Amino acid sequence: MLKPLKPKAPRVDGGSFAIIAAKYNGRYVDAMLNAAQKELDRAGAKEVEVIRVPGSFEIPAVAAKLAQSHLPPLSAIICLGVIFQGETSHAQHIGWGVTHALAQIQLQHEIPIVHGVFIFENEEQARVRCLGKRHNRGIEAARTALEMARVMAEVERCT
């Protein structure tokens, strides 16, 4: 069951974020991207860098490069993509590969990676979760990135 988004995003003073967004299934990804950018802007993010890649499978390569070499280090990386389930298991293979790679990058580089790459069975599912304001996964991804940036800064102060 879908839960509506909470009314407010956490506030951040500064912070640098990257959003890696797939071009494939652009109607849905673009809507999530726009919503995420607006949410980060409303929350006071200092810098938001957007990088477009051909499809969801290409997202981890860019995430790894950014996590490894971006100076100054990013507060979080948001990854956005939409995959539709077809007649074969191809969508699951892409989804699993992306998920596994993003988890490894997050652990290896100790930077929050927000996984916003979704597999949908049909366009109605994508429409509700990507195009609407009540359940937009782009807003949700930005809020997760903001919260994780805050948590990581707090942990850094404690160590």
Active-site residues, by number, are 90
Side-chain half-sphere of 36: how many Cα atoms within 13 Å?
34
**C-alpha–C-alpha distance, residues 154 and 159, integer Å:** 9
Residue 24 burial by CB count (10 A; 0-12/13-18/19+): exposed, middle or buried? middle
DSSP characters over 6-50: PS-PPP-SS-EEEEEEESTTHHHHHHHHHHHHHHHHHHT-SEEEE
**C-alpha–C-alpha distance, residues 70 and 42, integer Å:** 24
